[in-house]
A and B are shown apart, each in its own frame.
Chain A
Amino acid sequence: MKKLSIYLFLFVKLSCGIAEAYSSDPKEFVGELVNDAISKLSDKSISIEEKEKFIEKIALENVDIKALGLYTLGEVRKSAEKSDLTNYQKTFEKYFLKSLTSRLTDYSASKFEVTEAEQKSSNYTIVSSKINPSDGSPEIKIDWRIYTKNPDKPLIRDLIVEGLSLARTQKEEFSSILSSNNNNIKILIKKLEEFLKN
């Protein structure tokens, strides 16, 4: 009986695991992830706190936040001290999650469609998609830069919305702060911490 309970428990755990994991094919990965997100975020019966937790969870599992943090730091990442970099990475992750949740929690239903995927190299695939907002706003084209170094676990590195790279915008924003502060990474960390307090 005890053995049966263990098997049942393992089966349930495994089933949940499978249900939460997305495909390793970049095109299917984006489609499954976004449709899952749309169905949860547009569900009015789910509280804002639950939605925030959901966004954080899928972001931590499916976005290459570590690489994104280093990318947005630009050349400074090569000269910064290790302790500052570690501190920056921790703060950046919090900043990224806060900014992502604030953008998505008041999300309204939209129709999402993956249009094509183009493998740029063994490390990257660009997945093209389009969103038709339900409020009649114009269609939005989004390209997803998917990092495929580990083919079993694709990770999102950038979103290119109507040709505008979010990672590059973030990088140039940080670059401006760094260059006006003598490339002092501590000041950038302080600014991120101030953002987190607000």
Chain B
Amino acid sequence: MLLKQIKILLFTFIIFFTLLNSAKASNECFEGVSRSVFKFNMAFDSIVLEPVAKGYNKLPRVIKSGANNFTSNIATLLSIPNSLLQGNFKELGNATGSILINSTVGILGIFNPAEKLGFKPHKEDVGQTLGVYGFGPGCYYVLPILGPTTLRDSFGLVVDSFIDPFAHVTIRENEIFGISGNELDYFSVKGTGAIDFRSNNINNFDSLEKNSIDLYSSMKSIYLQDRQNKIKNSVSEQDDWGSLDN
């Protein structure tokens, strides 16, 4: 029985990673469905997220900065196992140093003294780790509420919830160093992070929406470029100007 389960699991993994490497990121998994989900997400954004983000923007700068630091500090926890898996010890040191300093001197991450000391960790997740290992993004699609993703990144998202120490103590209600929480803590922090991100990009989103003739494709391009840069931890210099150079 166990052997049969292992075989099924192995088969699923082989199929999944074959799909990852055979499909280009620009390929759509199911464009029609993704465009419908995208419309739903846009409606959700204009009814819920954008008004909340605009209200959030009216808060004093010190509160916004504290919320940003707090959610970023928690999000950096996920970078520790991923930097380790990537064999990137410099980033591992950055992430660990940043969390230790900000969680103590920075009063639970509300302040960010680590940045002033030169600790500027990149956010790393399992999708990026798989990218570093050489797995392609697979096809592209849009998830309700969560937004754009690829096969690789959505697989990474699921694995993230198993290796993220914060998810471990909240969603799975385990204890680490005597710290525990619940699902509400997890979704409150993630929700605040999303609102903070949206509030910082009100003008960018408005401008993109106003000036795109196919907003879905613009968002797809931005998502894929951003993921590519995050995997490389640098700005990719794609030079495809070709004959236009002459």
Residues of chain A contacted by B36 (CB below 8 angstroms):
none
Q: Is B225 an interface residue (CB 8 A)?
A: yes
Residues A177 and B214 in contact, CB atoms below 8 Å apart: yes
Q: Is the CB of B225 within 8 A of A136?
A: no
Interface string of B209-243 (1 = CB under 8 A from A): 01111101110111001100100000111111100
Flag whether A7 is at the interface (Cβ < 8 A).
no
**Which interface class (under 10, 10 to 19, 20 to 34, 35 or more) fits A?**
20 to 34
Q: What is the CA–CA distance of A120 and B235 in the complex, to the nearest angstrom? A: 14
- A173 and B236 contact, Cβ closer than 8 Å, known pairs A70-B244, A102-B210: no
Identify A67's interface contact among B200, B207, B211, B244, CB under 8 A: B244
A143-197 CB contacts (< 8 Å) to partner B: 143, 149, 157, 160, 163-165, 168-169, 172-173, 175-177, 191-192, 194-195
Complex contact B213–A138 (CB within 8 A): no
Chain B residues in 8 Å Cβ range of A177: 213-214, 217
Q: A120 — which chain B residues lie within 8 A by C-beta?
A: 237, 239
B interface residue count range (under 10 / 10 to 19 / 20 to 34 / 35 or more): 20 to 34
Does A54 touch B at the CB level, under 8 Å? no
Q: Give CA–CA (A120, B221) in the complex, Å.
A: 24
Are the C-beta atoms of B218 and A99 separated by less than 8 Å?
A: no
- B61 proximity list for chain A (CB < 8 A): 136
Q: Are A103 and B245 in contact (CB under 8 A)?
A: no
Kindly state the separation between the CA atoms of A163 and B122 in the bound complex, as whole angstroms. Answer: 14
Of the residues B200, B237, B245, contact of A137 by C-beta under 8 Å? B200
Contacts of B216 in A (CB 8 A): 176
**Number of inter-chain CB pairs below 8 Å:** 66
Q: Are B211 and A99 in contact (CB under 8 A)?
A: yes
CB distance from B143 to the nearest CB of A (A): 19
**Which residues from chain A contact B238 at a C-beta distance below 8 Å?**
165, 168
Contact status B245-A149, CB under 8 Å = yes
> How far does the alpha carbon of A172 sit from the alpha carbon of B222 in the complex, in Å?
10
Q: Which residue of A lies closest to B224 (CB)?
A: A172
- Residues of A within 8 Å of B235, CB to CB, are 143, 160, 163
CB distance from A122 to the nearest CB of B (A): 10
Q: Is the CB of B217 within 8 A of A71?
A: no
In whole Å, how far is A67's beta carbon from the nearest beta carbon of chain B?
5
Contact between A71 and B244, CB atoms less than 8 A apart: yes
Whether B200 lies near A138 (C-beta < 8 A) is yes
B62 to chain A, nearest CB (A): 10
Q: Are B211 and A102 in contact (CB under 8 A)?
A: yes
Complex CA–CA separation, A162 to B234 (angstroms) = 10
CA distance A136 to B61 in the complex (A): 8
Q: Are A169 and B225 closer than 8 Å at their CB atoms?
A: yes
Pick 24 A–B contacts, CB within 8 A, sort by A: A67-B244, A102-B211, A123-B245, A124-B245, A126-B237, A138-B200, A143-B235, A157-B241, A163-B225, A163-B235, A165-B238, A168-B225, A169-B225, A172-B217, A172-B220, A172-B221, A173-B218, A173-B221, A175-B217, A176-B216, A176-B217, A177-B214, A191-B213, A192-B213
Beyond A102-B211, A169-B225, A177-B213, list 13 extra A-B contacts (CB 8 Å).
A71-B241, A99-B211, A126-B237, A136-B61, A137-B200, A143-B235, A164-B226, A168-B221, A172-B220, A173-B221, A177-B217, A194-B213, A195-B213
